[in-house]
Structure 1
Amino acid sequence: KRADIGVAMGITGTDVSKEASHMILLDDNFATIVKAVKEGRRIFDNIRKFIKYTMTSNSGEIWTIFLAPFLGLPIPLLPIHILWINLVTDGLPGLALAAEPAEKGIMQRPPRHPRESIFAHGLGTHIVWVGLLMGAASLFTQAWSIKTGNAHWQTMVFTVLCLSQMGHVLAIRSDQESLFSQGLFSNKPLVGAFALTFALQMATIYIPFLNPIFKTEPLTLNELVFTIALSSVVFFAVEGEKFFKRRFAKV
């Protein structure tokens, strides 16, 4: 049989064996391989989570802007809104996903095929349907606000899209485990990024000198509660997806 890689000892191994090997154990301890595999799987998982978060967020923006004209609605977002979402709402929580600890049972998984797509295991489907849900929530907000004569409709659409993405990042911290059992504070950098992003989003709405820059208007308490409630639909939808994954995994 032919091995996939060659392993050499870093302390007692010869120079020839080190040159011929693909992996060198610096401490001559084979248990180090297990730790390295676990860390490698954690890093790969977090890369997939970052891709899932950013591409789903972009998908939500695309659906919102693309479908609005077909529904007879005005352009829902301005360029400054899109720039803000891409730099702040996507950027800060997305980077904090790198600090996500390894999921439970990560070493019980079978090895991943080297040629397996990074969009495997439903990642591509998730990007499409959750992005579409974000777009639907944003467009519903726009249509309902315009119909009721709400002059703040664009600020509400902007806020719904931002907050739905923030709820999404909390829900995708694990592919199957619920956030409620995982624990909110198991990734403190993400909690900090979430809080900072939320505070900055509120600043664009309620700090007067920022209103002309971001073309926003202060929302009433009822309007803010409405946007938060509608945005939470994305979080609970993804939690529901994970619930069914857990149920089918046990069958």
Structure 2
Amino acid sequence: MTSAAPRILVIDDETQIRRFLDIGLRAEGYGVLLAANANDGLALAATQSPDLVILDIGLPDREGHDVLAELRQWTQVPVLMLSVRDAEAEKVRALDLGANDYVTKPFGIQELMARLRALLRNRPGEPELPPRYDDGHLAVDLARREVTMDGELLSLTRKEYAVLDMLLQHAGRVVTQQQLLREIWGPSHTSDSQYLRIVLGKLRQKLGDDPAAPRWLKTEPGVGYRFITS
């Protein structure tokens, strides 16, 4: 069984560049996603989980640097920046914000492909999630999507389970409100924090988790939430 071809998201407002990259990437066997502006690009990044992003700095609705900074709030997908700006300061800024590489326009397709192959080859692997979490009280069977407390099956809604699952996948680390809202409710709901607060409140009730002295679900004020591992 062969693995699926890597998918590349191209965010660039120049029609000719998008067409050029679309043809070139498909010829090399990659899947391609195209966006002409920042908002569409972020939406595709959130919903389609590309393996790599090619991001233009000069976009019509937002600066590419801002898009990069937002991406880095919730994903470590490799990002290759494109720009007509070749000043060293521009490159340093992009790299400091989390870009993995930087190519100045105009560029040669073979050099770009070589850089993409290097980024895809060196991308960090996702940690493999154990099939079951069990601390003696709370147990989450990720394969069966079942949650039990002291052996008793809990009835969670889809959203409650999705929030618990996502926090558990990042156990010990803070998951931002925007990341939770984007991944579970969709990219158009990143400001609807009240949805998240309601679901967290109900989830805590079902777990018997006191927000003032949390055992599992800790609020990081103004940032997000963290699943406590010890």
Between 1 and 2, higher relative CO (CA 8 Å, sep ≥ 6) is seen in 1
Q: Which has the higher strand share?
A: 2
TM-score, length basis structure 1: 0.29
Q: Which has the higher helix share?
A: 1
